[in-house]
Structure 1
């Protein structure tokens, strides 16, 4: 048995999947620094992208449905960002994250200014189509499912909401200016505030950030990504869990969690974050209050 197959198995991926991947992709996948994406040199051709879709499905966390969905977002840089659906026990079904959301958020968290194509193992549901409308020029987004390509306008001919202008979409909007209310020099606190400042919250005007720290000192940031239809919005805690799940650290235990939110927010997800994390680890969620810098 080849060493790279053994390494792939150690990372939690089945050997059947490992055998389908190129050695350089496997080498990237099993590195401790892997954060859920592959550089453009690995994914220029369609066959390589199709293989990565198969790989993405392996990251799905589906304790309720058992139905794995994988997605791949191709960024403006040419890099490929994995995405997979996540389900959580102990909270309502709508708390789950869809694979298309996962891939786009992964690209967003890595600083991509645009997604130029989306590959999915299953046809996107209405929830995901609505979420994708938050991208600038969303109607032109090519979506490829099992070799068939359509754009979002074909999948959603009568969209709900308004088009996002350039510089105002999920991936390319400007950061918010927020400051903490209670003095706290903790590094974790500042990380949560930094995450909140990059939130996409055009509807509630209530940025929030979430930081997960693992026992080996790794940090995973999350921030809210809102949708015009509200329900497809993704809270900061889910974004952070998504980034951890798509990384090489996905099975490492969590040691601390910190959430930053506006004290005057019209909406806030503290109770949801606490309920969600209780089903994953026995670590309390530290809450940090912020105010707008304006």
Structure 2
């Protein structure tokens, strides 16, 4: 079991603490399959929503709150039945807009894993306005159910009435809609190939500034992040931040980063390179490789 989960186990019901230890192996990154979830429910006699609320200390243990020391955990439940954990990430010495909120982390986890529809988000603290706006970008975002400890479950529409979202800017394919872009960048480099694949599934309907980041770890593992824009602009999630929260969830240290690549669209209205470099250099002494891809004609 990973050491970071030891304190969290003391906050779980004994039956759940015993049942989940085998899942918290060195490869655990916050993903629990529908089958594993059903087994946990059977072993603990907890129904699904009770179980997910009880698991929040495990999600919060994935946090890296360098500035606040305030641990927030979130769990996304997909229509597939799988769950995806996320937690807040704060970058030392960097402006607060670089922060990743727990809900963003969990949603990006589900998106990177290929989840097509999010039904519920379970959080240990009430979602801030930033996160409510980020959730609203999702397919049927207003219908996502929010679960909080000691509160009745409510849809996002309860927490964000009179919402402003993609439809207000004539976007008909919200976040999580499958993106089939056609950017090309000839290369036989696996790190670049993965970045290009992620670029072609990124979400940038407002600026067309599609982008993706790949981080190669010391053991050769490649971790990624994609750009996820938002109708309110500021809650947009940068690809580097998504990659870094992916790294933390996956039980790596920032010192494990040996290579970093950003690929972005040549046709975008903005560039992501400055924000990506700032975030990367706050945690690792690694140069950012910046590449530009052209849309295939």
The Cα of 1:124 is off from its aligned counterpart by 0.5
The Cα of 1:167 is off from its aligned counterpart by 7.5
Over 3 Å counting, the alpha-carbon distance change for 1:252 and 1:82 in structure 2 is farther
Residue 156 (1) aligns with residue 141 (2): no
Which residue number corresponds to residue 88 of structure 1?
91
Structural mapping, 1:159-174, within 5 Å: 159-163=163-167, 168-174=173-179
Q: Which string of whole-angstrom CA distances, capped at 9 and with x for unpartnered residues, describes residues 36-81 of structure 1?
A: 2001133352332123211111111111111111100001111110
The Cα of 1:229 is off from its aligned counterpart by 0.5
Which residue number corresponds to residue 33 of structure 2?
39
- Residue 13 of structure 1 aligns to a residue whose secondary structure is helix
Which residue number corresponds to residue 45 of structure 2?
none
Structural mapping, 1:15-164, within 5 Å: 15-17=7-9, 20=12, 21-32=16-27, 34-44=28-38, 45-148=48-151, 149-163=153-167
For residues 90 and 269 of structure 1, the distance between their equivalents in structure 2, rounded to whole angstroms, comes to 19
Which residue number corresponds to residue 42 of structure 2?
none
In 2, are the aligned partners of 1:29 and 1:248 still within 8 Å (CA)? no
For residues 18 and 212 of structure 1, the distance between their equivalents in structure 2, rounded to whole angstroms, comes to 34
CA RMSD of aligned residues (A): 2.0
Query: Which one of the candidate residues 1, 5, 19 is aligned to 1:13?
Result: 5
In 2, are the aligned partners of 1:90 and 1:276 still within 8 Å (CA)? no
Q: Which 5+ residue runs of structure 1 have no aligned equivalent? A: 1-6
In 1, are the aligned partners of 2:66 and 2:92 still within 8 Å (CA)? yes
Q: Which string of whole-angstrom CA distances, capped at 9 and with x for unpartnered residues, describes residues 102-155 of structure 1?
A: 111110000000011110011011101111111111111110111421111110
Q: How many residues align?
A: 283
Structural mapping, 1:133-282, within 5 Å: 133-148=136-151, 149-163=153-167, 168-180=173-185, 183-250=186-253, 253-282=256-285
The Cα of 1:195 is off from its aligned counterpart by 0.8
Q: Which string of whole-angstrom CA distances, capped at 9 and with x for unpartnered residues, describes residues 4-40 of structure 1?
A: xxx342xx223452673444432222143x3320011
For residues 21 and 106 of structure 2, the distance between their equivalents in structure 1, rounded to whole angstroms, comes to 19
Over 3 Å counting, the alpha-carbon distance change for 1:107 and 1:250 in structure 2 is farther
For residues 88 and 252 of structure 1, the distance between their equivalents in structure 2, rounded to whole angstroms, comes to 14
For residues 144 and 268 of structure 1, the distance between their equivalents in structure 2, rounded to whole angstroms, comes to 36
Q: Which string of whole-angstrom CA distances, capped at 9 and with x for unpartnered residues, describes residues 224-248 of structure 1?
A: 0010000000011111112111113
For residues 206 and 188 of structure 2, the distance between their equivalents in structure 1, rounded to whole angstroms, comes to 30
- Residue 55 of structure 2 aligns to a residue whose secondary structure is helix
Q: Which 5+ residue runs of structure 2 have no aligned equivalent? A: 39-47
Given the two structures, how large is their TM-score scaled by the length of structure 2?
0.89
For residues 41 and 251 of structure 1, the distance between their equivalents in structure 2, rounded to whole angstroms, comes to 32
- Residue 117 of structure 1 aligns to a residue whose secondary structure is strand
The Cα of 1:257 is off from its aligned counterpart by 0.5
The Cα of 1:172 is off from its aligned counterpart by 2.0
Which residue number corresponds to residue 286 of structure 1?
289
